[in-house]
Structures are given as structure tokens and as C-alpha cells.
Amino acid sequence: MVHRQDFIRPLCKGLISLRNSLRVDKFCLEKKWRHDDILIYKNICFLTQCCNEHNGITWRIRFDIPQYSRSRKLLKSGSLVCLTNQKFTFLQYATVAENNDRSLRNGISEIRFIDDIPKTSEILKQRDVILIESQVFFPSYFHTLLSIKCMHNMLINEEHSIPFGTHLLNKRHSLNQEEPDYFESRSFIKEGFDISCLSSGQPVNTIDISNETNWPDAQTLGMDDSQHRALVTSMKSKFALIQGPPGTGKQ
């Protein structure tokens, strides 16, 4: 999940910033609008479809060279790009195929769509297409993302095929709302839960841990506030992720 977010976040941040800027000023791209995570190319024109043994099927495109691009290399091979228009009525993702400096100086490049599109696709007919380049180098992430996709497909066919898979990959499950199975146990409902092993030398009665008001405070349990929150959350949740630096009592 962290790997996936690391891949997506720079492009998402740039897209959100661009969309918000266009809502305020629809001519912001004419005023040298900039963002650290993305580079914008305007007036994209699809020239022809190409095919070679290294990149497969690609599209040769023509674009306006950004005026502020002197300090950055244009359309680096392997970069993730997104094609859309200024109204964001569509989004199509691609990667930059191999380029040469001469073509780039003339505003010519080749891209390979991540999902194949037909020659009749509406994106090829749009007149106001812009291309947004992310700093993310796609090939280094490709195999991990492909594995995540395969794992997700496995979960669709068999929910328990991967340990913790329903929580890690399946968005239908909410980590904040799922209660542990022992909450439904008769003995738990009748007798409560004995947490005396957690106390710091002080007697603690058996309690109903499903209600946070029943819990002893952090000092009684010999914990700080963050440790106390982590303990209560983990005992009330079917799945909990606890993180922190070494030596902070995660065990």
C-alpha cells in the first residue's frame, strides 16, 4: 500500500492543484502555471501509431514545448503521464517511450498507453488535450503494481486467498468499523474481558472492552497516551496497524 501511494501521490497532488487553479482562473496555464510534481504540455496532437520490438504499440504526438522547461528534461523515457483536458472530462494514463533529443526539441515524442485504446477513441479527436508528466519513473513500479492487481483479482475469486488480503487490498472493508469476532462470543458478553495482565501492579477488574469509557486510563496501565490509544484500538478492531520507531512499546 505504501509503495502504491508513493507511486500515485505526486501525480494526484499535481492534478488536484491544477484542477483547483483552473477553477479559479481558466487561463492559468497561459500564465506560466507551475507545480513541483508535474510538468504541463499543451496542444497535444496525435500524429500516427507506431510499433517496434522494444515498446510495442505507441503513439507519436506533437506538443507545445513549455516555456519554463529549460531547467528540466522533457518527457523522460519511462515517466508516467496523464492525458486530459482543462475540464477534466476524461483521464488516460500512459508512459513515455524512448525519445531522442532532436525530436523533443521539435516538440515530438512517443507515448505508450497503459491500457490499449482503439483508434476510434474520443481522446484522439479532442482538440484541447493537455499532457501532464509526473516525476515518477514508471518501469520501477510496474511489476509491483502488476502484482497488486493480480492479488486483487485473486481476492475477488476467493476472499481468504491472501493473509489479511481483505483488509490490505479490498476497499469494501473499513478498518475503523469492523469489530473482532470475540465481540459476538457469549462468554465475552456475559463475563467481560480480563485485562489484569496489562495493569502496572494495580488491580483491574474484568471489563467490557467494547466501550472505551470502561477502560482504565493510561497511567493505570503504565502507558503513555499514544500506547493507550493503540491498545484500545487494536482490542476493538478486527485488524489494526500499529507503527512507531523502535523502543516505543509496540510489542
Strand partners of residue 12? none
pTM: 0.55
- For the beta carbon of residue 161, count every other beta carbon within 10 angstroms: 13
Give yes or no for a contact between 23 and 56, defined as CB atoms under 8 angstroms apart: no
172: pLDDT strictly greater than 70: no
Q: What percent of the chain has pLDDT over 90?
A: 1
Give yes or no for a contact between 108 and 62, defined as CB atoms under 8 angstroms apart: yes
Distance of CA 4 to the CA centre of its chain: 5
- More confident site: 11 or 140: 11
Lowest mean pLDDT among 61-70, 128-137, 169-178: 169-178
Which SS3 state, helix, strand or coil, does residue 238 take?
coil
19: pLDDT strictly greater than 80: yes
Q: What pLDDT score does 167 carry?
A: 66
d(C-alpha 56, C-alpha 216), whole Å = 63
List the grid coordinates of 157.
475469486
197: pLDDT strictly greater than 60: yes
- The kind and range of the H/E element at 43 are strand 38-52
36-45, 69-78, 167-176, 180-189: which has the highest mean pLDDT? 36-45
| Cα angle 242, 177, 186; round to 5 | 100
Per-residue pLDDT band at 212 (split at 50, 70, 90): confident
2: pLDDT strictly greater than 50: no
Q: What pLDDT score does 3 carry?
A: 46
- More confident site: 160 or 27: 27
Q: What pLDDT score does 1 carry?
A: 44
Dihedral sign for Cα atoms in the order 55, 59, 62, 67: negative
Q: What pLDDT score does 118 carry?
A: 64
The set of long-range contacts for 73-76, using a CB threshold of 8 Å and a minimum separation of 24, is: 74/39, 74/104, 74/109, 75/41, 75/99, 75/104, 75/109, 75/133, 76/133, 76/137
Q: What is the mean pLDDT of residues 15-24?
A: 85
Dihedral sign for Cα atoms in the order 55, 59, 60, 66: negative
d(C-alpha 236, C-alpha 213), whole Å = 13
- More confident site: 99 or 190: 99
Per-residue pLDDT band at 171 (split at 50, 70, 90): low
126: pLDDT strictly greater than 80: no
Closest CA to 111 of 78, 88, 144: 78
Distances, alpha carbon 45 to alpha carbons 49, 59, 142, 198, 233, in Å: 12, 10, 27, 66, 53
45: pLDDT strictly greater than 80: yes
Q: What is the mean pLDDT of residues 118-145?
A: 75
Q: If you average pLDDT over every residue of the chain, what do you get?
A: 77
- The kind and range of the H/E element at 57 are strand 56-64
170: pLDDT strictly greater than 60: no
Lowest mean pLDDT among 66-75, 149-158, 204-213, 235-244: 66-75
